[in-house]
Amino acid sequence: MVDSMCKMYRSAMQVFVKDSGNALKFYEQAFDAAALSVYPNTDGTLMHSELDVYGQIMMVSELVGEEADSGNTMMYCLHFGKGKESVVTRIYEKLKDGARIVVPLEPCVYSPLMFDLIDKYRVRWCVFI
């Protein structure tokens, strides 16, 4: 039975990457975002950080150990809606640096403008209007 009185405080995206300190700076620029909190480790990596990405929380932390398993991969999808072509284009121009482009910035069946890429920190993004 679902507890109707139970409310979740928030839902957020969290990425675990190598070189998390530089990744945080990269995402701040890519999304024109401000860091809300940063908890560094003594070696300069991040135990935890949070960015405000267009009103949504994105957390960036250092990946400890080896790469994630195949079934543990996610894509982060950001849907901006009509009239936000310039936002999608700007994000693409920032994220494409060092990325593997899966689908370049172009129209598709569900959006007049979108892209799909795996950025230089191995995070997969689908951004569209």
Q: Domain holding 116: CATH number?
A: 3.10.180.10
Domain match, 59 and 80 both? no
Among residues of the chain, what percentage have pLDDT more than 90?
Answer: 75
Average predicted confidence (pLDDT) for the chain: 90
Domain with residue 41: its CATH number is 3.30.720.120
Q: Are residues 48 and 93 in the same domain?
A: no
β-partners of residue 57 are 52
Domain count, the chain: 2
What pLDDT is attached to residue 66?
66
pLDDT tens digits, one per residue of 62-87: 987 766 554 556 789 999 999 999 99
In a domain, 69, yes or no: no
Residue 123 domain boundaries: 74-129
Using the Cα atoms of residue 58, residue 61, residue 63 and residue 69 in order, give the sign of their dihedral. negative
- Identify the band that residue 47 occupies on the pLDDT scale cut at 50, 70 and 90: very high
| 110 and 129 housed in the same domain | yes
Inter-residue contact 58 to 20 (CB < 8 Å): no
Same domain (yes/no): 116, 82: yes
Higher pLDDT pick, 10 / 116: 116
Output the pLDDT for position 12. 83
Residue 22 shares a structural domain with residue 57: yes
Of the candidates 39, 44, 42, 56, the residue with the CA atom closest to the CA atom of residue 18: 44
Considering the domain boundaries, does residue 3 fall inside one?
A: no
